[in-house]
Structures are given as C-alpha cells and as structure tokens.
Structure 1
C-alpha cells in the first residue's frame, strides 16, 4: 500500500524566510507543489498560523540527530490549542559558511546563525575562527539576509540561502559531526487519522499525576506490556510547579492498531492527562515485527475468550 499524503493543503507555513532548512524540507512534501508556502519568523508563529486558520498546515523542526529536540516545537505541541502530526520529513543538514563576495576567512570578525546550527558547528568555529563574535538569530536564512545587508561578516546556513541572497561560500560543509539529520513534522488541526500503512508512528504527550515512586516506570510499563516500541521520549516542564514534567513520546504503530490503542487507553487511566498528537507514516525505516500475542488478532481472540468466560464459565 502506498503512503497516503495530506491533501487539500492550500497554505503551508514554515520557519522562514526562504532559504532555511525548513524551506528545503517543506519542498519535499508532495502537497507543497500545489500549495502556497508561507514563510514566518519563528516556529511559534508558524504553528499559530495553523491555529488561527491562516494556514492549513505548518512544517516545523522537531528534533536533530546532533542537537536533539527543538524545545519550541515540543512546548507548542504540549500546550495551547491542540494540533496533530500528519506527516514527517527527514532532511540531511549540510552547513556552509557564507559571506559577501570577495570576503576571505581572515576578514571575518562576526558570524550569525540559528542556535541549533551554532551548536552543530561550534567546534569548527572555535578552531578556525577563534575570537570571532557569534550572534544567534531566528533562522539561518535570516542570518544570511543580515550578512547581505551588512549587519554581520558571515553566516552559517544552507547553500540555497547564499544563492538566494547573493553570498559566496567561504567554507564548505563545516558541521562538527558528519551526516546530521533534522526531522520535521507537518502539523494540522485535529481530524481523523489517515489509514494505517503498516509502517506508522504515533505521537502523544503524557502528563503524570502528582509525583509518586515509580510514576515514569508505570507509564513505560503500559507500552512494554503490549509490545509497543518507543522511538523517542523527552521530558519537558509543564510550566507549572518546579519539578512537574510531561513526557513527549513517539511509538511505533498506529492508533487503530489494537496494541497501540490499548496502551493509550491504559495511559488515560493512570496519567493526569494524555494529549494525542497523531498517527502518520514513518519515514526513517521499517517498523519492527509485532511480538507474539500482541497482534490485532490476538487482542480480538482474547476479548472473545473473556466474553465466553463471563457469559458461560469455563474456557
């Protein structure tokens, strides 16, 4: 079965301006060819555009293989008006050091970039540009624009941004770790999940009840008991009292899978709250085999067996 793609997306917001890695990622979506792309200055603005009805969807970064989670995205998904993830995009990230034409490496005194980009090129900058002032801005493309306007000497970002805004590459592929990848998620207003593909991911946020011994183990045990593999778990403060956290979770499978649905229902019983964030095609590999006794058929057989016991006794 082919993966279903979001349809009817008239406007897709993304972290702009044009030339960001988010811009490169959104162009990978099949729906983008028929949609209006709306660049906005921050992740929060892109998400708010969906909540306000100004955009049908927003593509925003969720995590990076080097720097980890993007807190702004996690916090927006955990708080405010609920949205769901409809799809995901993986983008290999290659960083270029760019400056106005004629600029040499020795001429640089200031560099601008996004915080996540800076974290991935920090040691290169320390080794090759010691003492240079590094400024953090809202996006890598915004940094390139600022260099073109004369505000900084150089910017770290995607090569396409330099092409768009007339900069030359001074140093190529300067990441501290090779093969960095950023995962982007496509957010929409809540609606029925797409049909399962057989290689899906489900996302949610779980809020623990008042702290007690083994609370996190209890949460994890609901997945383990049903053979549901977690692919990501992140803790984030609830914005309330000190020491109170929620957990942003990705797991293998689709909410219509019996074992996944049963795990979510169990979490609803033991957690203070559970926010469902969507079931959607997985784009980074194959789902593992369903453990023995955890298939949909096994759940159905077990319920039928229990119904017979309750109705007639015996096995």
Structure 2
C-alpha cells in the first residue's frame, strides 16, 4: 500500500510537444488570422453601405420635417433653390429614366450582338484581341465621354435633327449607351461561354446552324447571366453623372422627350454639392432625399436582377 502511495505521489513530467503538432498549431493560427483579415475586408463593404444608409436616411428624415412626402412625390416642379421653392422629385426621375432608357436602347442590342460574336463566332486570336480592347473602353473617364457627346455627337445629331438644341438627353443617352456596352457585352459573353459544349454539340447534331444554336440554345441557357449584365448596365446608366451634366443641360423639366434638355438626380446632386448652401438648410437636405431616391432605384434593379437569376438559374 505504501509503495502504491509513493508511486502516486511522484509528479509526472509533461511529455514534450512533437514538432508535427507544433507545426499544425502554428498553421491553424495562420489560417485563423487570414480568415479574420478576409472577414474584416468583407465587412468594409457592409459597414460602408450601412453608414451611407444611416446618413441618407437621417438627413432625409430632417428634410421631410419641412417638406411633406406627398409634396415631394406629386409636385410637378423642381426648384428647391428658388424663393418659391418646389420639391417634385418626379422632375428629376423623368430625366433619369429617359436618359437610362436611351442608353439601354443602345447598350443592350449592341452589347448582346458583340457577346454573341465573341462567344460563338470569333476565333481564339480574335477574341483575345477584341475583348481587352472593348473592356478598355470602360476605363475611359466619363468626363471625356461627356465632352465627346457635347462636341461631336450633338453637332452630328443636329445635322439630322435641325431643331435639336445644344443640350439634350438624346445625345447624353447615346454616349452613355456606348460607355456601358463593355459591361453588357463582357458579362453576357462570360455567361454564354459558361454554357456546356454538349448543348452546342447536341444542337449541331440536330442540324442547327451556328446562329440558331446561339439564339435558341446558348442564350436561353445563359439567361440568368445575361439578365445580370442588363441589370448592371441599367444601374450604371442610372448612376451616371458627368455625361448628363455636360451634354444633358442640367435643366430640371418634366419631360420624357429625349430631344429636350433635362436634369437627372445625379446632376442635381453635383450642382448643389458644389454650391454655397449652408449645411442643414432645406435646400442642402434635398440632395440627401434625392440620393436616397436614387439608391432605392438601384436597389430595385438589384432585387429584380436577383429574382431573375434565381428564376432562370442554369440547371446544367
């Protein structure tokens, strides 16, 4: 019995940690550190969005303490900086939607045709040359596009339409459409190239031509990706500022006629943000109400794009 007690009272020496376990523990620490860094980087976008919404909503609430929501939505004039102030956001919405519609009428057909050519008809060498050049177009500063619209496109249109004024939504929208072509074509082409080759081979085996295969097999199979490209192009057109500011005229008028000058939400925000209005005034707070409206429009586009992707998601 005493021998057993003596044996139990002897302290056990800790076993040394093997080099393998020490290496695994160090690797786990590194991986968790990398995960923490990646999570922090991903959280930046979330926190930035929350901060933007907090500022916009807070300032917009203060704005609606002076201007009723009904007046904001139904007034047919937008003159917040005049003595006889009017706050009808519908005036800026018509300019925004008109310029976006003109841009999409250019970008969607042209971008889709380019995507079909690059995906289904162009050779490898042609694709490798044309696609980078096309994507380089998206890196041109928008102010350059604005002066291109004002000094080249507008005079050209005036030769076709003599009554066209020097500033018009038509000129700005056409150049905006050219600007967003790379967004539509690049994403659409990527979606089409993701379609399995077996679907194309099945179409060819049934006697389909390359054009029939592209239009009736590849495009329906890539509907979700193509829809996402269209939504991205729409959001890009809605948020464009400099082209419309330079070529559109920045004249707030309630019109859906692209042959007339008009102001958009973004151009008004730029116009007021560069002025001398005191912080906290009703005129200054209009830019936050307009900005929140613009963000809701963009959110609507994103939600529609999400449901389209979910509805037409490829099953192959």
Same fold at TM > 0.5: no
Look at both structures and tell me which one has the larger radius of gyration over its CA atoms: 2
Q: TM-score, normalised by structure 1?
A: 0.25
Which one has a larger percent strand, Structure 1 or Structure 2?
A: 1
Q: Which has the higher contact order (CA 8 A, sep 6+)?
A: 2
Which one has a larger percent helix, Structure 1 or Structure 2?
A: 2
